[in-house]
Structure 1
Amino acid sequence: MKRLLLILILTFSFQSLSEADDISDFQIEGMSIGDSLLDFYAEKKIRNLEKINYPNSDKFYGIWIYSSSDKYDTYGFTLKKNDNKFKIYQLKGSLDMNFNKCMDLKKGIQNKIKKILTNSTEDSYRSNYQNNLGKSYSEVTDLIVENGSIRIWCENFDKNFEQSKNWIESLNVDASSEEYLNWIDNEAYK
């Protein structure tokens, strides 16, 4: 029953927007691309979080914040190095759940977002983590708009593969700015 209520809350949380085609119009828990993270968390808390760095560029870094919210278990943010305003370039909500429940919920969320982002282009695919995690895979849908994209995906980890056997399957909703996406594609891992 609690999960059903959660599914309804997540589904209806995307209804607060009318039609929109700008990535900054999309919200996760009231947070949008371009907002200052300081509007939601204290600077001391942000600065004390462990930074996630990328192998070939330090222009951006990621952080995770564990949540007491009923909607998501964790929130992820990508911020620009040396930005004292902590502008959000990428944000993500993640909710732990088994893969089959996730797939049921993913479809509903995807349809709601498509109604909001009326000029989005959809790309759905299966990611196998470049075969680095046994038979693990994610079912991914990208909704691409003019200045960014929204990704919704469910993770299914191979419990027989040593590296991923203890990982937790989850539903993920991610909004990314075009600047962040260009950086991740052309600098972060090159």
Structure 2
Amino acid sequence: MTVTEHWFGEGIGTEYFALVTIGAGIGSGIVINDQLVAGAYGVAGEMGHISVDPAGPRCHCGTVGCVEAIASTKAILDSVRRDTGRSDLDFDGAVRLAREGDRAAWGAFARAGHAIGVGIANLVNLVGPERVVVTGEGLDTYDLLGVHITEAYAAHCFKAAARCPLVLRPLPWEVWARSAAVIGIQALFP
């Protein structure tokens, strides 16, 4: 998806670009010098596993306080269920509670937004992209996450890095298929 967005979307004309996905997981892709970075072990861009809270919840990866352990849809739902005592809630119910002003539900989304913002700031401080696109199925809840993402991002970016804009870009599900096609084309015509 990062390559597709770099070739055809918000990344056109950039040499340093990042895409962050929020939702069931938290991930990112990075472009440096006009090339997608895979890393030596194929895990470059695992922003979801940056630890942003040493006192935070244990992540499925085994570490504590990862962005994903705080901000994935499952992590938010688990937090809302625990803090409200409502084990029957699904994610839509948690969203509804937060939008209706339930403090516990709202707090789970605030913590998630903060974690995402800090994670993006760490990525931007490290790589220095010209632009970051934020997308994924989690954008449906941006009204609950957004202010917390942008505030944490601004507070944790280092000096000039804060000039890197965050662009919200809802992308339809078929973009994942289009992205696979782009990777195939790239492999055929290097």
TM-score band (shorter)? under 0.3
The normalised TM-score by structure 2 is: 0.25
Q: Which has the higher helix share?
A: 2
Q: Which has the higher strand share?
A: 1
The normalised TM-score by structure 1 is: 0.25
